[in-house]
């Protein structure tokens, strides 16, 4: 999978210790739709980072060899632009007997990505955080993720 970064341990995006994978691309919809500069996006600096193509097998080994992490979070930029690569990674984990939660942070709403949701639903234990980032909105604690999300329009759903 092409990534911007992998943090082998992350404690702020899900209730369980997680490996955090930063995806590579975004259309900057959250900013553009609100007439804001893309620099407002908290992930904007990541756009400058180099893209690295890491074999799914290597990501899997990184995860299973760390006894601390219990889940994989795939987040900003926008993972759904690489949905085929996200699905390949999940497929590799599941074929190797690893059923850990996969948490996908998308800025899209469900009606914008029905095909991707249906493809992801074929795998067990998938959670998606939906919704745009709205600067200056109130933050909101999300029960599914067990963390506070940046804006109160955002929410997570266990889709499988
Ligand atoms: S989807 Fe994520 S990376 Fe893209 S503009 Fe929104 S918050 Fe920023």
- pLDDT per residue over 90-134, tens digit each? 999 999 999 999 999 999 999 999 999 999 999 999 999 999 999
- Euclidean distance between CA atoms 130 and 153, whole angstroms: 9
Q: The dihedral of CA 78, 157, 101, 86: what is its sign? A: negative
- pTM for this structure? 0.97
What spacing in Å lies between the alpha carbon of 34 and ligand 1's midpoint? 12
Identify the residue whose C-alpha is closest to ligand 1 atom 6.
Answer: 30
Cα–Cα separations (whole angstroms), residue 93 to 115, 117, 140, 156: 21, 18, 31, 22
Nearest-CA residue for atom 8 of ligand 1: 41
Atom of ligand 1 nearest to the CA of 132: 6
* Ligand 1 atom index nearest CA of 31: 5
**Is residue 76's pLDDT more than 90?**
no
Q: Write down the pLDDT at residue 54.
A: 98
Q: How far is the CA of 133 from the centre of ligand 1 (A)?
A: 7
- Helix runs in the chain, H state only: 29-33, 56-64, 83-95, 114-120
At 51 the pLDDT is 98
Q: Which positions ≥6 away from 58 have C-beta within 8 Å?
A: none
Give the number of other Cβ atoms within 10 Å of residue 136's Cβ. Answer: 7
Alpha helices in 8-108, H assignment, sequence order: 29-33, 56-64, 83-95
What residues flank ligand 1, with Cβ below 6 Å? 26, 28-31, 41, 43, 76-78, 107, 133
Query: Which residue's alpha carbon is at the smallest distance from atom 7 of ligand 1?
Result: 133
């Amino acid at each position: 999978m092409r990534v911007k970064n992998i943090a082998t341990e992350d404690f702020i995006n899900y209730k369980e210790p997680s490996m955090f994978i930063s995806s590579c691309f975004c259309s900057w919809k959250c900013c553009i739709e609100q007439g804001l500069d893309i620099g407002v996006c908290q992930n904007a600096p990541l756009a400058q980072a180099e893209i690295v193509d890491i074999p799914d097998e290597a990501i899997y080994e990184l995860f299973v060899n760390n006894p601390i992490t219990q889940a994989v979070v795939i987040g900003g930029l926008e993972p759904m632009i690489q949905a085929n690569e996200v699905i390949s990674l999940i497929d590799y984990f599941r074929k190797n007997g690893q059923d850990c939660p996969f948490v996908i942070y998308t800025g899209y709403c469900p009606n914008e990505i029905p095909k991707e949701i249906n493809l992801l639903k074929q795998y067990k234990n998938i959670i998606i955080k939906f919704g745009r980032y709205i600067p200056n909105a109130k933050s909101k604690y999300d029960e599914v993720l067990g963390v506070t999300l940046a804006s109160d329009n955002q929410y997570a759903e266990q889709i499988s």
